[in-house]
Amino acid sequence: MDSTKKHLRSAVLVAGAATLALAMGGCSAGSSGASGGSDQTKNVTINVVLASDPPPKSELAEFTKETGITVKWTNLDWDSLQTKIAAAATAKTYFADATDVDWSRVGQLGKLGWFYPMQKYLKTSSLKADMPQLSSFTVDDKVVGIPYDASFMVTTVNKELFAKAGITTMPTTISDYTKDLQQVKSSGAVQYPLDIPFAAAEGLSTYWYQTTGAFGGTVLDKKGKPQFTSPDSAGYRAAQWMISALKSGLVSPGNINVTDSQGMQTLMAKGNVASVFSDYSGNVGSLYNVPDSSSVVNQVQYIPTPGADGVGPNLSNPDSIGIPVNAKYPKAAAKFISWFTSKDTQVDFAGANGPDKVLSGYALPSRLSAVDVLNSKGTLVGGDVLAKLLKTRAKPVFPEGAPSWYPQFSNSVYTNLHAAAAGNMTVDAAIKAIAQTATQLSSGS
Amino acid sequence: MTVGLQAGRPVPGLPRRRKRIDALPWLLVSPLAIFIVGLALVPAAYTIIASFFRVDELDPPTRFNGLDNFVHIFQNGAILSSMGNTLLYVLVGVALSTLLGIFFAVVLKQKFRGRSALIAILILPWALPGVVEGIIWVNIWDANTGLLNSMLKSLNLIENYQVFLGTNHFVTVLLIEIVQVWQITPLSTLLILAALQNIPDELYEAGSIDGASSWRAFTGITLPLIRPGITVAMVQAVIATLNVFDQPYVLNGAAATGSSVTMQTYFVTFQNLDFGAGYALSLIITIATLIISFGVLKLVYRPVEF
**Ordered domains of chain A (ranges, CATH):** 44-150+319-392 (3.40.190.10), 153-316+405-442 (3.40.190.10)
Q: Write the DSSP string, A259-283.
A: -HHHHIIIIITTTS-SEEEEEETTH
Q: Is A23 on the interface with B (CB under 8 A)?
A: yes
Using CA atoms, how far apart are residues B296 and B294, in angstroms rounded to an integer? 5
Whether residue A410 contacts residue A205, with contact meaning beta carbons closer than 8 Å, is answered with yes
Q: What is the pLDDT of residues A222-272, one digit of tens each?
A: 899 999 999 999 999 999 999 999 999 999 999 999 999 899 999 999 999
Which of A87, A411, A422 faces B271 most closely, judged by CB atoms? A411
Residues of B in contact with A255 (CB under 8 A): 143-144
Q: Which residues of chain B have pLDDT under 50?
A: 1-8
pLDDT at B191: 96
pTM for this prediction:
0.86
* Range in A152-161, A367-376, A417-426 the model is least confident about: A367-376
Rg over CA atoms, chain A: 24
> What region, left, alpha or beta, does residue B253 occupy, with left being phi > 0 and alpha being psi -120 to 50 degrees?
left
Of all residues in chain A, the one with the smallest CA distance to B34 is A18
- Give pLDDT, residue A399: 80
Instruction: Assign A9 a pLDDT band (cuts: 50, 70, 90).
Output: low
Q: What's residue A376's pLDDT?
A: 87
Q: Please tell me the predicted confidence (pLDDT) of residue B18.
A: 64
Which residues in chain A have their CB less than 8 angstroms from residue B142's CB?
Answer: 254, 257
- In this structure, the dihedral spanned by the alpha carbons of residues B52, B53, B55 and B58, taken in order and rounded to 10 degrees, is 120
Q: What is the pLDDT of residue B2?
A: 41
pLDDT beyond 50 at A32: no
Higher per-residue pLDDT: A385 or B16: A385
Mean pLDDT check: name the lowest of A57-71, A97-111, A347-361, B126-140. Answer: A347-361
Query: What residue of A is the nearest CA neighbor of B270?
Result: A83
Model pLDDT, residue B194: 95
A418·B255 Cβ contact <8 A: yes
What pLDDT is recorded for position A8? Answer: 47
> For residue B152, what are the contacts with CB-CB under 8 A and spacing of at least 6?
B158, B162
Nearest CA in chain A to B56: A90
User: What pLDDT is recorded for position A27?
Assistant: 37
CA dist A127 and A367 (Å) reads: 9
B163·A256 Cβ contact <8 A: yes
Domains of chain B, CATH where assigned: 75-300 (1.10.3720.10)
pLDDT one-digit tens code per residue, A407-417: 999 999 999 99
Per-residue confidence (pLDDT) for residue A339, from 0 to 100: 97
The number of C-alpha atoms within 13 Å of A4 and in the hemisphere containing its C-beta is 1
What are the φ/ψ torsions at residue A11 (nearest 5 degrees)? -60, -45
A185 to chain B, closest Cα gap in Å: 16
Q: Concatenated DSSP letters for chain B?
A: ----PPTTPPPTTSPPPPPPP--HHHHHHHHHHHHHIIIIIHHHHHHHHHTTEE-BTTSPSPEE-TTHHHHHHTT-HHHHHHHHHHHHHHHHHHHHHHHHHHHHHHHHHS--TTHHHHHHHHHHHHHS-HHHHHHHHHHHH-TTT-HHHHHHHHTTS-SS----SSSSHHHHHHHHHHHHHHHHHHHHHHHHHHHHHTS-HHHHHHHHHTT--HHHHIIIIIHHHTHHHHHHHHHHHHHHHHT--HHHHHHHTT-TTT--HHHHHHIIIIIS-BHHHHHHHHHHHHHHHHHHHHHHHHHH------
Q: Are A415 and B256 an interchain contact pair (Cβ–Cβ within 8 Å)?
A: yes
